[in-house]
Structure 1
Amino acid sequence: MTRVLYSLCGKDESRPFSPHCWKVALALAHKGLEFVERPYPFTAIANIEDGFSKTVPILRDGDRLVRDSFEIALYLEEAYPDRPTLFGGEGGKALSRFIESFSQMIVHMPVTKMAIMHIHDMLDETDQVYFRESRFERLGKPIEELAAEGEAERAAFASRLEPVRRTLHFQPFLGGDSPLFADYILFGALQWMRVTAGPPPLSQDDTVLQWFERCLDLYDGLGRRVVAA
């Protein structure tokens, strides 16, 4: 049985960049499940699996289709209980929900501003038109105006991660001694930046950067298969 992870790319299919798809790629590797990744550009997502979802990631596992990164992680945990756990119990699910909220509320917008023009330039012309229109509709500003705020976000980025830094003072991963899905959620956000705009602006001695490097090394360097921009 071939599992298929549908993900997001620009003109270059070898550079998938969605933070949500990266979460699922590491979750599958964590479970020791083989899969094939099939990246699609924004405007082709509606054609995947007869329009199953407006967004990626989408996982096909045999006859089963699952959308949304967190729903996919929950599905993998239930479908493969004998494989390494992604949550370690209900507490780990609650932790993952918190990290998801932290990532989306605190990290995603700064990364968007730092990476938005880089993402635009990675797309073909059709997707560039879609990207401009959809981001203006969602964020209320032209992408150039958002990008102009990127340098200020870059300067403040490390301080936004202080709660993570303090947590990692006590343990190597957010999940404790080994990674859980909570780690993959935040990893996905930083990997999104790494692939589109270059490594996150953190000093080499930053505990968060050291954690990120450990995550890049997981599963035979799965995260490093796409080089930094």
Structure 2
Amino acid sequence: MSIIFHDLIGADPARPFSPHCWKVAMALAHKGLPFERNNVCFTKVLEVEGGISKIVPVVRDGTKVVADSFLIADYLEQTYPDRPSLFGGEGGQAMARFIESWSNSTLHTALAGIVMKDIHDVLEPEDQAYFRQSREARMGKKLEQIVEGREAAIAGFSTKLMPLRLTLKAQPWIGGSSPLFADYIVFGALQWARVISSAKLLEEDDPVFDWFERCLDLHDGLGRSVPALS
């Protein structure tokens, strides 16, 4: 029986964009677990699994329901230990926690100033109203003000990736010799921008570009199955 994976979408159900949901999609594929996507828009999230979470991703595996991308990865690791590991041990799980904190605080913060209005523009009208109200209340400014420095944010984004760039000069994956959940955490952030925005964030001679392209090809091209926004 397939795992039910509640995933976030906008007006186009073929373009899931949530960075946290992409982490889970890649984790499920890494484990080789069949899953069925249930498309959810922003205003329907509270209807998922009896309102277990205010956000997605959420997965149902039989009678077990788990919310939060890291908790889902931990659940998959514990429940399916015979399948490829997402962490490579306790140390790898602790390292992934650090990578998630860095990605959320550095990459997501920088990307918000680039893609926030792009997200709004690909939603259905009802979701646009919710998204605008909730994000403007959270950030204390209009969406248009949030992205006022967009071009400068795009130009400066590369510097945010320096720790990753230096790591990838020494090893092929964040996880070392093969990808782990830590890779999917950062991949999710960059895939978010790729799917939702036409902003060019990576140069082709950047080691991060090569790594990201290889991430897109993982698991029979799961990431590449959603085209970049042109």
What TM bracket, shorter-length normalisation? over 0.9
Question: TM-score scaled by structure 2?
Answer: 0.98
Q: Which residue of 1 aligns with 2:130?
A: 130
- Identical positions, percent: 55
The 4+ residue runs of structure 1 with deviation greater than 6 A are none
SS in structure 1 at match of 2:4: strand
The secondary structure found in structure 1 opposite 2:101 is: helix
SS at 1:148 equivalent: coil
Q: Secondary structure at the match of 2:94?
A: helix
SS of the residue 1:4 aligns to: strand
Corresponding residue of 2:106? 106
Matches within 5 A, 1:25-44: 25-44=25-44
Corresponding residue number in structure 2 for 1:46: 46
CA contact (8 A) 1:190 1:200 kept: no
Q: CA deviation at 1:50?
A: 1.6
CA distance in 1 between partners of 2:199 and 2:64 (Å): 35
Amino acid at match of 1:61: D
TM alignment of 1:112-191, pairs within 5 A = 112-191=112-191
Structure 1 letter corresponding to 2:74: L
Name the CA distance, whole Å, in 2 between partners of 1:15 and 1:203: 24
Provide the rounded CA distance (Å) in 2 between the counterparts of 1:102 and 1:39.
28
Helix, strand or coil for the counterpart of 1:13?
Answer: coil
Distance 1:101 1:30 in 2: 22
Aligned residues of 1:110 and 1:150 also touching (Cα < 8 A): no
Would you say 1:228 and 2:221 are equivalent positions? no
Structure 2 Cα separation of the partners of residues 150 and 72 of structure 1: 33
- Cα drift, residue 199 of structure 1: 6.0
CA RMSD of aligned residues (A): 0.9
Deviations 1:37-58 (A, max 9, x none): 1121100111111212111000
Aligned residues: 229
Shift in Å, 1:112: 1.2
Separation in 1, partners of 2:200, 2:187: 11
C-alpha separation in 2, matches of 1:191 and 1:74: 22
- 2:20 matched residue in structure 1: 20
In 2, the alpha carbon distance for the partners of 1:217 and 1:18 equals 19
Q: Using the alignment, how far apart are the partners of 2:37 and 2:145 within structure 1?
A: 34
Question: Could you tell me which residue of structure 2 aligns to residue 84 of structure 1?
Answer: 84
**How far does residue 32 in structure 1 lie from its aligned partner after superposition?**
0.5
Distance in 1 separating the partners of 2:156 and 2:69: 28
Give the C-alpha shift of residue 140 in structure 1. Answer: 1.2
How many angstroms apart in 2 are the aligned matches of 1:163 and 1:52? 36
Unaligned runs of 5+ in 1: none
Q: CA deviation at 1:107?
A: 0.4
**Are the counterparts in 2 of residues 7 and 21 from structure 1 also a CA contact under 8 Å?**
yes
For residue 227 of structure 1, give the secondary structure of its aligned residue in structure 2. coil
**1:198, distance to aligned residue in structure 2 (A):** 3.0
Deviations 1:17-42 (A, max 9, x none): 00000000000000000001112110
| Residue identity matched to 1:119 | I
Given that 2:2 and 2:33 are in contact with CA atoms closer than 8 Å, whether structure 1 keeps it comes out as: no
CA distance in 1, matches of 2:191, 2:213: 10
